[in-house]
């Protein structure tokens, strides 16, 4: 069945002129572009499929990291709460301001310690038993650490009785913060750029 003139014109709209030869013309399909797009789409789908398979094969540690981050922040909030209680106990007794200064110093040490851990420690790099042990070490900053300070602050008298025990508990928390930082620093994420620079410096020094 022959095409009418209108049908021919309509059909030609689907094509582009490639090369003219005499009275004849080679019509290049516009569909080539469409086929090319489909081909790219297929490749993209295959790539995404590969990435999805890779994600399925590899463990997803995001939830673990979020849980550990939440644990750190909750623990720090509890430490801060006990330190505020300790300040309140000292203020009620109108004691030496040097004792209050010890608490304010602890606020700074606590904040820097927890921030240091949050920024550098990746819980996915250690096993579950070791992670549980390290979390227990961190929890001790709350109790007996800050909890003892609060209790001892409430026993200091105007004559100075109980002050020595209070200062010992402050020193104990400072020591515990340093120990926790040291314990977790063994498992901190490595700075590959820094390490490479350090190695180069050592080589040059030799």
Tens-digit pLDDT string for the chain (206 aa)? 554 556 555 555 544 444 444 444 444 444 445 545 544 554 555 555 545 554 544 567 899 999 999 999 999 999 999 999 999 999 998 888 899 999 999 999 999 999 999 999 999 999 999 999 999 999 999 999 999 999 999 999 988 899 999 999 999 999 999 999 999 999 997 654 434 443 454 454 44
pTM of the complete model beyond 0.75: no
In a domain, 86, yes or no: yes
Are 53 and 89 members of one domain? Answer: no
71, 39: one domain: no
Q: Are residues 23 and 93 in the same domain?
A: no
Q: Are residues 98 and 172 in the same domain?
A: yes
- Domain of residue 143, CATH code: 1.20.120
Q: Judge if 80 and 178 occupy the same domain.
A: yes
Residues 115 and 34 in one domain: no
Last residue of a domain, one of 32, 57, 82: 57
Tally of domains in the chain: 2
Sorted by sequence, the CB contacts under 8 Å of residue 180 that are 6+ apart come out as 113, 117, 137, 138, 140, 141
Listed in sequence order, the residues at least 6 apart from 3 whose beta carbon sits closer than 8 Å to its beta carbon are 11
Q: Based on the domain organization, do 39 and 85 belong to the same domain?
A: no
φ and ψ at residue 189, rounded to 5 degrees? -65, 140
Residues 105 and 36 in one domain: no
Domain assignment present for residue 101? The answer is yes
138 and 51 inside one domain: no
One domain for residues 66 and 159: yes
Which residue, of 57, 74, 90, is where some domain finishes?
A: 57
Q: Are residues 93 and 149 in the same domain?
A: yes
Q: Are 110 and 76 in contact (CB under 8 A)?
A: yes
Give the residue carrying structure tokens 């030496």.
96
Domain that includes residue 20, residue range? 15-57
> Looking at the structure, do residues 87 and 145 belong to the same domain, yes or no?
yes
């Amino acid at each position: 069945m022959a095409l009418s003139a209108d049908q021919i014109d309509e059909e030609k709209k689907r094509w582009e002129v490639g090369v003219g030869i005499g009275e004849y013309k080679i019509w290049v399909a516009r569909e080539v572009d469409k086929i090319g797009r489909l081909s790219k789409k297929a490749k993209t789908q295959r790539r995404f499929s590969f990435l999805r398979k890779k994600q399925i094969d590899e463990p997803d540690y995001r939830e673990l990291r979020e849980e550990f981050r939440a644990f750190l922040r909750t623990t720090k909030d509890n430490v801060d709460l006990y330190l505020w209680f300790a300040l309140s106990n000292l203020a009620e007794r109108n004691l030496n301001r040097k004792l209050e200064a010890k608490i304010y110093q602890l606020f700074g040490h606590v904040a820097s310690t927890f921030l240091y851990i949050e920024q550098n420690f990746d819980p996915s790099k250690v096993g579950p038993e070791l992670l549980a042990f390290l979390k227990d070490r961190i929890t001790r900053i709350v109790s007996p650490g800050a909890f003892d300070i609060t209790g001892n602050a409430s026993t200091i008298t105007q004559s100075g009785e109980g002050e020595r025990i209070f200062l010992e508990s402050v020193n104990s928390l400072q020591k515990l913060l340093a120990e926790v930082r040291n314990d977790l620093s063994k498992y901190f994420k490595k700075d590959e750029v820094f390490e490479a620079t350090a190695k180069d410096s050592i080589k040059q020094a030799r």
